[in-house]
Each structure stands twice: as structure tokens, then as C-alpha cells.
Structure 1
Amino acid sequence: MSYRTALSEVLAGLAGPAAEAAAVRGRFPRGAVTALGRAGLLGLTVSTEFGGGGRGLREAVDVVARTAPVCPATAAVLRSHYTAVAVIEAHGGPWLRAEIAAGRHLASLALAESEEEQAGEGDGPEADSRLLVPGSVATRSGEVVALRARKQRVVAAGEADLYVWSSRPLAAPDGLTLWAVPAHAPDLFVPARPSVAGPRGSATSTVFADPVLVPAEAMLGADGAGLDVVLRTVLPWLLELRAAADVRRPPVLDPALDPARDPGGTRRPAGTLAAS
């Protein structure tokens, strides 16, 4: 079965009461996420070596674009999930990649930080720039790292199984460091009342760590190298998937017809912080 056929079946079940529950009552689309996992769509972009679909950003854009008109909350969850998985595919371990491929793990991003909660979805250059300067503190003691932070605009907060988390480096002089933080880890706190950010039902909220303890091996990539990952992976995926979630713009699956390319066929930056 193709991923589009599988997605059509999931969306057919999502339309109606399920989508209304998310849009009107703000209920997280847990049934949709479970169905997406069983259909192989949460693992769409994981390597076939680990049981995933072996697809890339182009197919992820297609899935998000087709989901957004039916349920914006589910599209927002997929946007964050696919971006987080792109990081995990490059730097995560085999067990975690296999769990995502099997549809048993929903991933999300816990990167943004600011002093005050922002109204609205928090998209745009200002929001993106906050991904580059984490205030989170990471302290290592033996093989355990303590992370202290207040992460803003986390999609699927309290619903995801794993957060791709940023902090200041442990020892590197600059940059940032990324971590795979299990959502069930003790001392992670999500307010009972979600913030106003994000589509209704997407469980977009703040996540507090005071602190959360993770093994040192939970580091994704090298200490201090996370800034390059954010610039070259996170932001390009977020910008493309954000555009796909805009139901006013249909997905462009033929590169020759992509208006974001110049006449010479070179991809123009999708936003102000595209990878350099």
C-alpha cells in the first residue's frame, strides 16, 4: 500500500467528529496519531534499514499538506514530529529509530525559549531566531546530565513520547547541544491548561524541566554542534512543512513547477533563517 493510500484511509476516519473535537473542544487528536503510527506514516521518513518508509522531506510535505485541511491540529503535530525525526535520523540511535519506524514513538521539538509566552502560533523570523540561542543549562555529573529549562511553544506537550531538546553546551565554547529527552522522564512539567499558541487541539504549551535527568548518551550529535543541525536540518524542514500546513497553498510535488525555485532551478530560501 502506498503512503498516500494509507493516509487517505486515516484522513477518512479523522474527518467529522474527530477533527471537530480537536478544533472546537481543543482535544488532542490521539486517535489520529495512533492511526498514523499503525499506517506507517509516523515512520515515513525513517530509513528502511530500521523498518521505516525511507522517504524524505518531499513526502512529509505532501502528508502535512493533505492533512491540514482536514485537521490543522494533526498537521501541526506531524510538522513537529517529522522535523524532530529528521534530527533523530541523523544523530539518534538504532533503538529509537526503530521505535519511530514502528509507529510507537511520537516525537516533538522543545527548542524555543523566551521570557514571556507569545500569543498566536509563534511562527516567523522572530520565533525562528529563538531556536538559535538557548538559555537552558546542562550540567553533567558522571554519566547523567541535568537539564534546566522553560521550553515554549512545544507541540504535543505532554502527549509526545520524546522531545528533541536544546541547551547550552556542556563544555564547548559556543553553539548549542541537542538531546533526546523522554517525555515520561521525572521532573518534566506541562501546565494543565495549554497556552494559546498553535492550532487548537495541538497541545502546544510550555514544558518545564527543573531539572530533568537524562543519560549522557542522550546527546544528539556532538557537544556544541547543535547550532549547525538547527540551521541545516531543523529550520529547512520547519519552513517547508509550515508552508505545507498553510491550506491556501497546495503542495508542489513537481520541482519544475515549484515557484520557490528561480528560472535556473536553484532553490530560493524559504525563509529568513534557511540553512547556509
Structure 2
Amino acid sequence: MSSTSVNVSAAPEADVVELLLPQVRKFLAREVRAEAIDREGLIPAAVRESAAGLGLFGLTIPTEYGGAGLPLGSACRVVTELARVDRSIAIMIGLHVGLGTRGLVAYGSPELRSTWLPRLASGECVASFSVTEANAGSDLTAIRTTAEPTREGLRIVGEKSYVTNGGFAGLFTVLVRTPGIGGERATSVVCIPRDTPGVEIGLEEDKLGVRGSSTVTLTFDGAVVPWTNLIGEAGRGMDVAHELLGWGRTLMSAGCVGTARAALDATVAYVGMRRQFGRAIGEFGATRVHVAWMAARVHAMEAIMKSVADEQARGRNIETSSAIAKVFTSESAFAVCDRAVQLHGALGFLEPTGVARMLRDSRITRIFEGANDVLLVRIGAARVTSSAPIVQFDDSPSVRALARRLDDAVAEIRSRLGIRAVRRQLLLQRIASAEISVTVARAAALSGGPLGHYASEQLVEEGHHALDRLVRAERDEDEATALFESR
């Protein structure tokens, strides 16, 4: 069944989204069978074609190239809606409109944009993004795939792992080492068409969750592309990659929101129907505490996602804030889905309810696009090395108190440890946990309403708990190190 794309030529951005979302819901209801996609391990070609007909592959591509030209926040709304029904489809679209095409839109040459963006907007060609390698995951500085300058262009040799959309993508955006351009440690971003000689596509991986999404290994055996395929400035690939990851992590947060919202909706329906001891289990106080926590968490997830997208729209650097959103939403989505399984009882452990699939689909988000443990260290290091206070004048009283306590704790650590603090990973992770609580609590409070206040107060309490544990961080890390080394 084909879908009809929304005419975006004259409609304001908000109107485009409001017109598009009902069509997205119809498409999902009529054509998407999440259970079958999960069971069979692929998204049917007909579903991809319908998504293309609806204009989903062109969400963030400028209108002059046939896309909708939507900002990050609007794209997040669409990805959230997709993830409420099927996370694999949300990943396919989210990766394409973010990491897959953002580099071309922001940094591609006019020739490169005119060649590829119309095809990417129509869905004729799907985009992918290739960074990870067998020995280079969260540490992008360890990549070994290399682009060597030649008379013909750039000759690429190496291998990329866990490439999303790779099985059917027509264009790969790839981070490579370019020691011949900018020095031994220089990197660049280059786009490589699928049909380039020397590009080899591996088999699909058999995954725990998001089983319908495509995940393959890419091998480049002397693939040559012209110099014009460089994205951004040669030798500055890491800067480009970090900007793209800001988009990618925000769109991933949108997917987490959608999955968590679906788990919450399923749970609310189930506890209202399931009867024990002569009454619906949703009438029991203990159940209501769980559901209230889930609802508050989903609200906070939405608030931080919107906050980061708004920052990006104002032209701010979202490298740290998108990492905060990614960590919080991925951890929260998994926790919400876990509680959904628990409240469904034994039925939740069975696949037909759908909540087991949601739990499996959520697990990967704590790993890819930056493992959360690593991102916590980086967030904490950024806080320790920053001179800017986290407290803001317009914070609510409880958020302000937590922020001041965090600022005081960081000042004490700086004074006592100096630069040595960045070598204390557990210390940095607990600082990051407190900063995440402050940042998300602030966003939740600003969202307003009883649920926003409830969510904010929960997060403030969690932030204080993280700071309570901060005083033991060095001791805990030393004890764990001693135990590990004594094995």
C-alpha cells in the first residue's frame, strides 16, 4: 500500500508536523506488524517503500532537495511516534535523517548535495553512518580505517562494525583516518556509495533486540572515491562526527521516549483490566506508585529531549546536553520497560504482550552511539574542568539547592585533586549522575504541571543520592581495583 507525502512547500514547520503525524499513525496501524518484524528479523521492503512515499526519509533534508526541511525537534516528534509502534523502523528513519544525512546537509559541497540529497529525501537511497570498528567503539581516536590520497581520489582500506541500515543503504558516511591530510592523527568524514568497487557488505547480525533493523559489517578493500566526497574540512573529521552524534543522540532519545510511552500505555491498560483479590490491580497503592514513577519518567524524558532540540535550534553546541539526554532517556526507557514487564506479571515475560519486545529493544540504546558508562565519564570530566556553575537564577528552589550542592562538591574536588580528578572514573560518573539529575529536573520543572513537578522532585532526590555517594567514590574505586587485581 502506498502513502502520500505531505506538501511542505508553503506550510510552516509546526503545521507540517501536525499534518504528518496522523498519516504516520495510519501508516503504522495499517502496514506495520511489529511482532512479525521482530520474528523475521527485517523490515519488509513494502514498508520501507510506504515510509518513503510518506516522506519520512526526507524529514530533515531541505525543501530545495525535495525534503520537508524540518528542524531537529520536529523530526524527534516523528521518530517518537514511530517508536511507539516499532523501534526498528524508528531506528531506520532516525539514523537516516540524523547521522546518515546531517553531514551532507550541513557540510556537503553543492555538487555532493545536488547529487545525493534528492535521492535521500525520496527514499530511493537510504543513508548510513559508519564509525565503530572492532577495536574502536566509544574511543573514536582508535579507528584504523584509512583514506589514502591518490591521483584518482581517496583510497579507503579498513572495516567498520555494527553499521545500522548497512544492509540496504545506498550511501555510507564514514569516519576515516587521513594521515596524509593534516598529520598522523588527522581524521576526515567521507561519503562512499554502495556500488563503489571495493565495498563489501557483510551478513546481517542476529541481535537481542531491534531485530528488524539492519546491522552489518562493512569492508573497504581499496575503495576509491573522488576528493569531492569529503564532508566538511579535510583533517577535521572528529569535529564533524561530534556534531553529527549530537543529532544522532537526540533522535535516539526520541526513540527511547516512544518506546517508554508505549510501555506505559500498555501497563496502564493492563493494570486497569487485571483483577486480583477482587479488584483491579491498578487500584492498589503499590501498583500506583510504580505507574506514577513510570509516567513521571516518561514526562522527564520528553522534557529533556525537547530541551536539547530547542538548544540546537538556537545555535548552541549540544555535544554535552545530547549526551546527557541520551544517557538519561536510554536508562529510563529500559527501567520503564522493566517495570512494565513486572506489572504485567508472568504475562509480561511472554512475547505476545509486546512489553518483552520493548524491553529487548531498549537494551541496545545504553550501548550504541556512546556507551553510557563512557559518556558518564565524559560528562563528569566536562563538569570538573568547566569554570561555569551549573546553578541558574531561574531554577526552582529544590533544583537550585541541588545545583549549588553539586557546584560546591566540584569546587572541593578541583581544589583537592586538581587535574588528577579526571583519572578518577567512578568519581566522574557520580558527578555526571548528579549533573544529569539537575539538568533533567530543570527541564521537567520548566515543562510545568503536576507531572512536571513530580518528575522534577524525583530527580532532585536522585541527584542528592548521587552526591551522597560521591564522598565514597575514590574509596569504592580503590577497593574494586584491589579486588580485581587480587584475582
Q: Please say if residues 204 and 215 of structure 2, whose CA atoms lie closer than 8 Å, have aligned partners that are also in contact.
A: no
Q: Please say if residues 167 and 215 of structure 2, whose CA atoms lie closer than 8 Å, have aligned partners that are also in contact.
A: no
Paired position in structure 2 for 1:72: 87
Paired position in structure 2 for 1:88: 104
Match of 1:226 among 196, 220, 237: 237
- Once the 2 structures are TM-superposed, how far is the Cα of residue 198 of structure 1 from its aligned partner? 6.1
Classify 1:211/1:199 alpha carbon distance in 2 versus 1 (closer, same or farther; 3 Å). Answer: farther
Residues 157-196 of structure 1: pairs in structure 2 closer than 5 A? 157-169=166-178, 170-173=180-183, 174-196=185-207
Q: Please say if residues 130 and 172 of structure 2, whose CA atoms lie closer than 8 Å, have aligned partners that are also in contact.
A: yes
Runs (4 or more) in structure 1 with deviation over 6 Å come to 265-268
In structure 1, distance between residues paired with 2:35 and 2:247: 28
- TM-score w.r.t. length of structure 1: 0.82
Paired position in structure 1 for 2:22: 5
In structure 1, distance between residues paired with 2:206 and 2:39: 15
1:104-132, Cα deviation, whole Å (9 max, x unpaired): 2210111111239xxxxxxxxxx4x3345
Paired position in structure 2 for 1:270: 322
Match of 2:70 among 49, 55, 70: 55
Residues 110-189 of structure 1: pairs in structure 2 closer than 5 A? 110-115=130-135, 127=137, 129-169=138-178, 170-173=180-183, 174-189=185-200
Q: Please say if residues 146 and 211 of structure 1, whose CA atoms lie closer than 8 Å, have aligned partners that are also in contact.
A: yes
**Are residues 1:14 and 2:66 paired?**
no
In structure 2, distance between residues paired with 1:218 and 1:210: 17
SS of residue paired to 1:143: coil
Q: Please say if residues 106 and 162 of structure 1, whose CA atoms lie closer than 8 Å, have aligned partners that are also in contact.
A: yes
- Amino acid of the structure 2 residue aligned with 1:87: G
- Once the 2 structures are TM-superposed, how far is the Cα of residue 197 of structure 1 from its aligned partner? 7.2
SS of residue paired to 1:108: strand
**Are residues 1:248 and 2:260 paired?**
yes
Q: Please say if residues 61 and 97 of structure 2, whose CA atoms lie closer than 8 Å, have aligned partners that are also in contact.
A: no
Q: Please say if residues 29 and 74 of structure 1, whose CA atoms lie closer than 8 Å, have aligned partners that are also in contact.
A: no
1:39-96, Cα deviation, whole Å (9 max, x unpaired): 1110111111222101021122112111113221111111211122111101232221
Paired position in structure 1 for 2:61: 46
Aligned residues: 256
Identity of aligned residues (%): 25
SS of residue paired to 2:182: coil
Paired position in structure 2 for 1:119: none
1:214-266, Cα deviation, whole Å (9 max, x unpaired): 1221111121122111122x12112111111121158xxx99x724659xx99
Match of 1:258 among 297, 303, 320: 303
Classify 1:167/1:44 alpha carbon distance in 2 versus 1 (closer, same or farther; 3 Å). Answer: same
SS of residue paired to 1:270: helix
Match of 1:201 among 173, 198, 212: 212
In structure 2, distance between residues paired with 1:13 and 1:159: 23
In structure 1, distance between residues paired with 2:97 and 2:209: 17
Paired position in structure 1 for 2:249: 239
Indicate the RMSD between aligned Cα atoms, in angstroms: 2.9
Q: Please say if residues 132 and 230 of structure 1, whose CA atoms lie closer than 8 Å, have aligned partners that are also in contact.
A: no
Q: Please say if residues 204 and 214 of structure 2, whose CA atoms lie closer than 8 Å, have aligned partners that are also in contact.
A: no
- Amino acid of the structure 2 residue aligned with 1:40: G
Q: Structure 2 unaligned runs (5+)?
A: 1-5, 7-18, 263-298, 324-374, 383-487
Higher strand share: 1
SS of residue paired to 2:221: strand
- Once the 2 structures are TM-superposed, how far is the Cα of residue 192 of structure 1 from its aligned partner? 2.7
Structure with max Cα Rg: 2
In structure 2, distance between residues paired with 1:158 and 1:13: 25
Q: Structure 1 unaligned runs (5+)?
A: 117-126
- Amino acid of the structure 1 residue aligned with 2:116: L
Classify 1:258/1:40 alpha carbon distance in 2 versus 1 (closer, same or farther; 3 Å). Answer: same
1:11-49, Cα deviation, whole Å (9 max, x unpaired): 123333xx3332011123432222121111101111112
In structure 2, distance between residues paired with 1:148 and 1:112: 14
In structure 1, distance between residues paired with 2:116 and 2:304: 36
- Once the 2 structures are TM-superposed, how far is the Cα of residue 195 of structure 1 from its aligned partner? 4.8
- Amino acid of the structure 1 residue aligned with 2:212: G
Q: Please say if residues 197 and 205 of structure 1, whose CA atoms lie closer than 8 Å, have aligned partners that are also in contact.
A: no
- TM-score w.r.t. length of structure 2: 0.48
Q: Please say if residues 37 and 211 of structure 2, whose CA atoms lie closer than 8 Å, have aligned partners that are also in contact.
A: yes
In structure 2, distance between residues paired with 1:58 and 1:7: 17
SS of residue paired to 1:258: helix
